[in-house]
Chain A
Amino acid sequence: MLAGEQGPGTALAMRLVVRTAEAMQADRLLRITRAHVDSCLYHGQATLDFVDRLVDGGARAAVPTTLNVGALDLLHPELWHGSTEDAARGRRLMEQYRALGCRPTFTCAPYQVRDARPSFGEQVAWAESNAIVFANSVLGARTERYGDFSDIACAITARAPDAGLHRDAARRATLRLGMADDLPPALFDDESLYPTLGLVLGRRAGTRVAVIDGLPPRLSEDRLKAMGAAAASSGAVALFHAVGSTPEAPTLDAALQGRPPEASAIVSLAELRDARQGLTSLPGGAPDGTPIAAVSLGTPHASLAELSRIVDLLAGARAAPGVELLVSTSRDLLAEAEETGMAGRLRAAGAELLVDTCSYIAPILAPGRSPVMTDSAKWAFYAPGNIGVEVIFGSMAECIRSAVDGRVRREAGAWGAA
């Protein structure tokens, strides 16, 4: 491939894979069977120059390859408040990645798309931090932290460096996180615990692999998804283990690969409360009754179970006048939700269904809409810096009640006085 017998595009991709392997100090490459590509999100002319070089050089993805979110919703282009020039550039980048043979999933949650989930032990090259941590932790597939350019380079060559999280040794937990004994049992039923704990996990772990001990077994995929997305925002977590929930941690000892941890820590209620409060950027902490301008759900993209829960929580009510209720999911799941009538029920409640992109990376919300309430720690982490809004964090149930009332509605839950 390096010699160019498969064309200049493939040779360029192979040069980048070799460069990546050198950076990771890998002696050899391994074969991958899938890729997930984040490079389709526009970050300037250089991103177009790069993909043009690949397309013009005759490159094609050599393995089934899904695409991450792009700059705009191609199915609902009216949900855009940026310049037409930026929209055109963002759209052209997304189309060029399709031209390389990638599947136009345009989702940050490819693991929810039919036929796109890697199986246990499968070697893949995934980009997008929440997708990486989900693939490694929840599915037990094996990927390093790939990013823009290296993701598509692996897809075109069907190769990745044989190093890091592709190998057993790096998958061992070195940090053990326990849960304090005095946490109220009801806390574990509170859906906002999991993104909050993820934030703590990311801060504590940094780039290390952690195992969390003391959570209820068989946590749902949606809870693990929220936890991983938060951990990959506050830290560089690419893999975590949760004893009794994730496949490489049937026991604590299995996650530690039979050796003692190099460090241990206990997560207290005070630390969790502090992390949860820190997710609200609005000065004063947004007590009950604070007016809101919008609610953003579905970061990472909502699963069918989450869409269904939103419908249940709405219970036939509508979002208050003047409150934008934005629900993000993938175009593949939206098609299923249309068939079952779930999408219609959400629209009837005043929800806008957004696909192909995300409301914190692109000008989707109407200008000046703030504060925005969200159930996503990842959204809360990035939105203030990216799109200049104040954020209020709450559980999905609190978000829906607040959307309907037009003001923050807190639930007296296991968190005590918030």
Chain B
Amino acid sequence: MKGRVLAGGSAQGRALVLHEPLSLWGGMDPATGVLTDANHPQRGERLTGRVLVMPAVRGSSSASSVLAESVRARMHPAAILLGEPDLILAVGAAVAEELYGVRVPVLVMDATDLLAIRDGALVAVGEDGSVGVSR
């Protein structure tokens, strides 16, 4: 599988497939990486080190700040795979790289490809946007 690269980098981690859209602002505590949105069915999951699979985006314009802050705290997700482009997250990843030298790949993928990724699967994201999935 291959995605369009919004923010580059290579990463590996277990997939966390979000059942509902999540805004990182108000939805993730950047100091702990925990999903905190009270209305989200996966509240309490830890996003740190996971490959987030987000079929739909609920954009908050401050999600970029929260992503960068989670990188500063080294509590960030390993990578973010989106079903639709989100420039806010792309810029958050770009700033995190500028400030802290840490790259969090952000990719847009085909909807059917995204659906093929199961929760907990081991996902490897390559510099060129390649996405490999193994159990």
Contact = CB atoms under 8 A, between A and B. Distances in A.
A385 B72 contact: no
Contacts of B62: 38, 41, 43, 147-148
Nearest to A206: B56
B48 interface: no
A24 interface: yes
Contact of B64 (A24, A128, A147): A147
27 contacts: A12-B98, A16-B94, A20-B90, A22-B90, A23-B86, A38-B61, A38-B62, A43-B30, A44-B66, A45-B69, A46-B30, A46-B69, A46-B72, A49-B99, A53-B99, A127-B61, A129-B60, A144-B87, A146-B61, A147-B91, A148-B62, A148-B64, A148-B65, A149-B92, A150-B88, A151-B61, A386-B26
B91 A150 contact: yes
B109 interface: no
Contacts of B7: 19
B38 A46 contact: no
Contacts of B25: 43
A50 B99 contact: yes
Nearest to B72: A46
B83 to A, nearest CB: 11
Contacts of B56: 206
B90 A23 contact: yes
Given A46-B68, A47-B69, A127-B61, A150 B87 contact: yes
A382 interface: yes
Interface string A13-48: 001100110111100000000000011010111110
A385 B69 contact: no
Given A50-B95, A146-B61, A147-B91, 18 more contacts: A16-B95, A19-B91, A19-B94, A23-B86, A23-B91, A38-B61, A46-B68, A46-B72, A46-B96, A49-B72, A50-B68, A145-B59, A147-B61, A147-B64, A147-B88, A149-B91, A149-B92, A385-B26
Contacts of B99: 46, 49-50, 53
B69 A15 contact: no
A207 interface: yes
Interface string B44-70: 000000000000111111111110110
B88 A236 contact: no
Contacts of A25: 85
A23 B96 CA distance: 16
Contacts of B37: 385
Contact of A22 (B6, B26, B65): B6
Nearest to A163: B87
A44 B100 CA distance: 14
A44 B65 contact: yes
Top-9 shortest CB links A-B: A147-B61, A44-B69, A43-B65, A46-B69, A23-B90, A46-B68, A147-B88, A148-B65, A23-B87
B72 A15 contact: no
A262 to B, nearest CB: 16
A20 B91 CA distance: 7
A153 B94 CA distance: 12
A46 B71 contact: yes
Nearest to A384: B38
B128 interface: no
Residue among B59, B94, B98 facing the most chain A CB atoms (10 A cut-off) = B94
B84 interface: yes
Contact of B72 (A24, A44, A150): A44
Contacts of B71: 46
B88 to A, nearest CB: 4
A25 B95 CA distance: 19
A45 B94 CA distance: 16
A336 to B, nearest CB: 28
Nearest to B26: A385
B39 interface: yes
Interface in A92-133: 127-129
